[in-house]
Amino acid sequence: MTPEEQLLHIAEEHRAAQQSFTGSLKVCVAAGCVSCQSDQLKKALDAAAKKSGADKTCKIKGVGCLGLCAQGPLVISEPDGTLYHHVQPADAEELIAAISARKPVERLAAPANQPFYTRQKRIVTENFDRIDPEKIEDYIAVGGYGALIGAITTRTPAEIIEEIVKAGLRGRGGGGYPTGLKWSTVAKAPGAEKYVICNADEGDPGAFMDRSVLESDPHRILEGMALAAFAIGAQRGYVYARAEYPLAIKRLKLAIGQAEKRGLLGRDIGGTSFSFTIEIRLGAGAFVCGEETALIASIEGGRGSPRPRPPYPAEKGLWGKPTLINNVETFANVSAIIRNGSEWYSAIGTEKSRGTKVFALAGRINNTGLIEVAMGITLREIIFDIGGGIPEGRKFKAVQTGGPSGGCIPEQFLDMEVEYESLAKVGSIMGSGGMIVMDETSCMVDVAKFFMEFCKSESCGKCVPCRVGTAQMYDLLCKISEGRATRDDLALLEDLCDMVKHTSLCGLGQTAPNPVLSTLRFFRDEYLAHIDEKRCPAGVCKMRTAMEVHA
């Protein structure tokens, strides 16, 4: 059989086995639900099905992240499509009886057709509720590895790069650099030895997009990396993941082993001359290792600190060889583009921001969880339609996008389209996809102080502007929050923001002032209240008394 026929045979055989079941209960086994004991729930469902004899007709299946993380454990019943939330192991027998009787358990059922799901556009997360992340056959049954086999047997590397260029895919790691341009640069770089690196060092507070993709659909990342390797002429790849993601790492290791066993990774993939191996490198959780040159230094066994650019990794990267680095979500888009075509992908989103974006909704919002939306959707739609608005009837105040590198966006911009350029205009960035919502109980001085403390702690210390500047900015923010500052201190803070932004070596220092600058731009009155009136409008900051100040 040809490689394509082999894949088709595996898919048909697996689908036929699944058709012997008349129903199924799909249990979310991503980290959010596992932390609520969904793994124990799955065991209880297996036991209840076996006890009642329903195991012959009802398939109990672990699937990826189902999005509504705050309402877990989550279970989907098929074929009716009922979503159950807050399910406990004690509910197992009732769910098994319900699926046999074709009657849902109303007390556990989530509202049907809720905007959280209907307003999303799923590409990266399209398989999350369809496949068991620990079974390669499930991935193949939904078309997995078809794009890779088709590319290496019927297309040229140049054609694959051209498809990515035409699709308009931009890097989802934060900078939004055109992916096709980066691939073509590495492909054209001289030298026979090249590398592909997947940056899975997701470190923004409140961000869990990449972790969820690795936990829910690991083969999608492997296929995207292999397609990139074929396009640029690489034979070795690395996934750089933080050790704080044990479940993602476990499933990634399992997926690599399964793909090698099926001949979809390793030597002579699909009976062709194309060979590609993938190894995992664990990071110790340093935020600066999200910067590509620091990441490379860490993989090489050195200290994770950045180096000046140029030369860029595309020309001189891992061990001095041309290296392609994209993040998890970027690679997760690749197989869909190759499978469906660049015209299909480029029709989604806006003119300059094509496709979709995965966001982690966190903070003061009703529907905490993972979402994927088309670029160009407004902040209002995300926060109030998909996110369900602000809890306890409180008023929306701001949303932080882009993590410590981003900015706080106030209410006046809620109808702004979410895309790279629009976010930059209001002093924020897309980032990797963290989105933290704040209500009237948040103090913006305290928010800026929180992110500055994070940047200060995570600075590698290699350059003075970042090492010293972030520490001084943090001290000034503490002074303001405690009511000890003057307007001269505020002027000094703004000068430091400008200096750190324009003189730091890498992206960590260059973007560290963003939360301060954006809060100063839109919430200056709160800073002045702390300084002039010695009060915190939100009642968060504890003002020091005159006796404490002079002590």
pLDDT score of 240 more than 90: yes
Give pLDDT tens digits for 462-483.
999 999 999 999 999 999 999 9
| Lookup result for tokens 């490379």 | 296
User: Where are the strands (E) in 144-276, listed by range?
Assistant: 195-200, 236-242
What is the identity of the amino acid at 119?
Answer: R
Distances (CA, A) of 86 to 58, 79, 103: 21, 20, 18
Do 334 and 452 fall within a single domain?
no
Whether residue 252 is contained in a domain is answered as yes
Q: Contact 315/325 with Cβ under 8 angstroms?
A: no
Domain of 421, in residue numbers: 356-439
Whether residue 477 is contained in a domain is answered as yes
CATH number at residue 192: 3.40.50.11540
Tell me, what's the pLDDT at 257? 98
CA distance 533 to 485: 11
For residues 538, 542, 547 and 548, what is the CA-based torsion angle, rounded to 10 degrees?
Answer: -150
**Helix and strand totals (H; E) in the chain:** 24, 13
* C-alpha triplet 403, 222, 351: angle, nearest 5°: 55
CA distance 359 to 208: 8
Whether residue 138 is contained in a domain is answered as no
Q: Contact 391/370 with Cβ under 8 angstroms?
A: no
Q: Contact 338/152 with Cβ under 8 angstroms?
A: no
pLDDT score of 551 more than 80: no
Do 188 and 290 fall within a single domain?
yes
pLDDT score of 547 more than 60: no
Do 266 and 228 fall within a single domain?
yes
With bands split at pLDDT 50, 70 and 90, how would you rate the model's confidence at 545?
low
CA distance 337 to 150: 13
Do 428 and 489 fall within a single domain?
no
With bands split at pLDDT 50, 70 and 90, how would you rate the model's confidence at 249?
very high
Tell me, what's the pLDDT at 550? 46
CA distance 374 to 122: 8
Tell me, what's the pLDDT at 355? 98
CA distance 197 to 317: 10
DSSP 83: E
CA distance 465 to 356: 36
Q: What is the average per-residue pLDDT within 307-315?
A: 93
With bands split at pLDDT 50, 70 and 90, how would you rate the model's confidence at 30?
very high
pLDDT score of 61 more than 80: yes
Do 529 and 429 fall within a single domain?
no
Do 419 and 538 fall within a single domain?
no
Q: pLDDT > 70: what percent of the chain?
A: 99
Q: Report the Cα–Cα distance between both ends of the chain, in Å, rounded.
A: 83
Q: In angstroms, what is the C-alpha Rg of the chain?
A: 25
Helix (H, G, I), strand (E, B) or coil at 167: helix
With bands split at pLDDT 50, 70 and 90, how would you rate the model's confidence at 205?
confident
Give pLDDT tens digits for 94-152.
999 999 889 999 999 999 889 999 999 999 999 999 999 999 999 999 999 999 999 99
Which tokens is 547 given?
């006796």
Whether residue 121 is contained in a domain is answered as no
> What distance lies between CA 235 and its chain's CA centroid?
26
Q: What is the average per-residue pLDDT within 82-98?
A: 97
Which tokens is 235 given?
């034979």
What is the identity of the amino acid at 407?
Answer: G
Tell me, what's the pLDDT at 3? 85
Q: What is the average per-residue pLDDT within 386-414?
A: 95
Do 238 and 364 fall within a single domain?
no
**In this predicted structure, which of 74-78, 279-283, 504-508, 547-551 has the lowest mean pLDDT?**
547-551
Tell me, what's the pLDDT at 160? 98
Domain boundary among 89, 112, 135: 112
Which tokens is 219 given?
């083969």
Average pLDDT, the chain: 95
pLDDT score of 457 more than 80: yes
CATH number at residue 64: 3.40.30.10
Half-sphere exposure of 425 (CA within 13 A, CB side): 8
Tell me, what's the pLDDT at 207? 86
Q: pLDDT > 90: what percent of the chain?
A: 90
Whether residue 469 is contained in a domain is answered as yes
Give pLDDT tens digits for 41-55.
999 999 999 999 999
> What distance lies between CA 546 and its chain's CA centroid?
46
Tell me, what's the pLDDT at 100? 87
pTM over 0.75: yes
For residues 146, 152, 156 and 157, what is the CA-based torsion angle, rounded to 10 degrees?
Answer: 90
> What distance lies between CA 482 and its chain's CA centroid?
35
Tell me, what's the pLDDT at 174? 78
